[in-house]
Amino acid sequence: AQSVTQLGSHVSVSEGALVLLRCNYSSSVPPYLFWYVQYPNQGLQLLLKYTSAATLVKGINGFEAEFKKSETSFHLTKPSAHMSDAAEYFCAVSDEGYSSASKIIFGSGTRLSIRP
């Protein structure tokens, strides 16, 4: 069974500082990995996804994530935080990428706060 663990339910950084949100996954097969963002009172928006191509994945809004198989990690980073980045971030994993019967398993989420 697949699972993801997000380290830190709440992360606070200063505006302009590096953002680092941690995610470790568990999967018995090569996984598909995702980061989603949820702004208040909104649905989830796909930030980026890893589908076994390049290990460094670039997403929207300046975010990127690196797939490290040896560490079973898929941490999300952004060089310089902006106030508009304040939101809930979810890491997710799927290991049935080639099947029409699939589901994505989400981590518990990390709330990112930005200090002025």
Partner 1 sequence: DSGVTQTPKHLITATGQRVTLRCSPRSGDLSVYWYQQSLDQGLQFLIQYYNGEERAKGNILERFSAQQFPDLHSELNLSSLELGDSALYFCASSATGGRGYTFGSGTRLTVV
Q: Which of 66, 96 has the CB closer to partner 1?
A: 96
Q: How far is the CB of 60 from partner 1 (least distance, A)?
A: 12
DSSP string, the chain: --EEEEE-SEEEEETTS-EEEEEEEE-SSPPEEEEEEE-TTS-EEEEEEE-SS-SEEE-GGG-EEEEETTTTEEEEEESS--GGG-EEEEEEEES-TTSSS--PEE---EEEEEE-
Q: How far is the CB of 96 from partner 1 (least distance, A)?
A: 5
Q: Which of 14, 108 has the CB closer to partner 1?
A: 108
The binding site for partner 1 (CB under 8 A) comprises 32, 34, 36, 42-46, 49, 51, 90, 94-106, 108-109
Q: Which of 18, 54 has the CB closer to partner 1?
A: 54
Q: How far is the CB of 51 from partner 1 (least distance, A)?
A: 7
Tell me the C-alpha distance between 83 and 115, whole Å. Answer: 8
Q: Which of 36, 73 has the CB closer to partner 1?
A: 36
